[in-house]
Amino acid sequence: MSFGSRAQVAMQAYGPLCVGIDPHPHLLEEWGLEDSVEGLDRFAATCVEAFAGKVAFVKPQSAFFERFGARGVAILERTLQDLRHTGSLTILDVKRGDIGSTTEAYADAYLDDDAPMAADAITVSPYLGFGSLTPFFAAAEKNDAGVFVLAFTSNPEAIRLQTATTSSGMTVGDQTLAQLALANEGAEPMGSFGAVIGARVAHVDARRLDINGPILVPGFGAQGGTVEHLRELFGSVLDSIIPSTSREVLAKGPDVIALRAAAAAANDSLSLL
């Protein structure tokens, strides 16, 4: 099954919520863990126990593992492997973007089904040109994986770039969405190439949101994104959005039952969409 098909199945089974695994130093401290490889290991293992087979998507943030070097990356590898075949799909948040053989190497590292760090999907950046993402798309198609492309992010510095007008007359962000729609054209039930759009972004052309693919929506929950924001921004494509939360759920750790309850509550709130 393609990633688009698997994503739809997971959303129907568990709801649309994505829970991030973000082992930030302050969260490790709040959980009573040391800011160390050992603390990271315990944090990640607890998240797997809490969320595997309980939510549709789990999104490890690679940087928080990479900061511990090779031992942290080894824990990331195991985390991804432990989540496989549990019913939950992994979205590895790496935001990679490069050209040529380097992009091909990144694609092999994260999307090849036999790679140690294989994920169901990854996040990528289009700002070296949308065409530079071709190796990611090719690897995703070969391995039934997914790719989420940054389109509109909520950080203040992004507005000037993402709303800049291109020679086509569209903004950079809108053109990214248009190109994703072309890449997903004809896919059923939906394509495997998604967009990343922040929950609090206000400058999106609603006519461009129908990309026939999933839309990852970070910023839901503790970062201020509400059900009302989602309904207002994504009203025409609500069935395709994957709202993502990290801090609001992870703040309930390290108790596994409390983490599951927080994720369930967030998922329940999305039933109001």
What is the sign, positive or negative, of the torsion defined by CA atoms of 182, 194, 232, 218?
Answer: negative
Q: What integer pLDDT is reported at residue 239 of this predicted model?
A: 95
pLDDT at 205: 85
8 Å CB contact between 216 and 91: yes
Find the radius of gyration of the CA atoms of the chain: 18
pLDDT for the residue numbered 206 = 87
Neighbours of 178 (CB within 10 A): 17
For the chain, what is the domain count? Answer: 1
Domain that holds residue 86: 3-270
Check residue 267 and give its pLDDT: 96
Distance CA(65)–CA(271), nearest Å, equals 32
Q: What pLDDT digit, counting tens, does each position of 246-263 carry?
A: 999 999 999 999 999 999
Percent over 90 (pLDDT), the chain: 92
Q: What is the DSSP string of 60-107?
A: EBHHHHHTTTHHHHHHHHHHHHHHTTSSPEEEEEEEE---HHHHHHHH
User: 37 pLDDT exceeds 90?
Assistant: yes
Q: Note if 95 is an active site residue.
A: yes
3 state SS of 272: coil
pTM: 0.97
pLDDT band at 204 (very low <50, low <70, confident <90, very high): confident
User: What is the per-residue pLDDT across 108-156, written as a single tens digit (0 to 9) for each?
Assistant: 999 999 999 999 999 999 999 999 999 999 999 999 999 999 999 988 8
Which residue of the set 54, 95, 142, 252 is catalytic?
A: 95
pLDDT in tens, 182-195: 999 999 999 999 99
Ramachandran area for residue 186 (φ above 0: left; ψ -120 to 50: alpha; else beta):
left
Query: At 116, which CATH number?
Result: 3.20.20.70
State the average pLDDT for the chain: 96
Residue 241 has pLDDT above 80, yes or no: yes
- Tell the residue number behind the tokens 């973000």, with chain if given: 22
